[in-house]
Structure 1
């Protein structure tokens, strides 16, 4: 089983489709633990009106490895 297949089993599209609040999805393009195709991009398609922010050189754990940028993006989303 690949990481993509394993993660896809945890993702529940009906739950994501039911979200009706402003949603920010931040994902690293270079995340090797949770691939962007089956996580960030899929979630952004399923959550109505979601905002997807991709960190082009970002890896996994963006809130820790790029905390300043992550927090600034989150604060900006909350304030808008």
Structure 2
């Protein structure tokens, strides 16, 4: 049984199987000198990475997590105070 505050990696079973190396990355900005974040859709999952560090880590979201993230962004949940 999990501890109450234990973080569970619910994508551990799939993360190593997802191959983003040939993914079509969509950038969040049109500015070449400000790469922003990039997203890609692979095998029903959404990957997000730092456009300034394309060889860096990729965050993986389920479609439901991605929808919640997008709605939060639209609602200003992540805006600086």
TM > 0.5 = no
| Higher normalized strand content (fraction of residues) | 2
Q: Which has the higher helix share?
A: 1
TM norm structure 2? 0.30
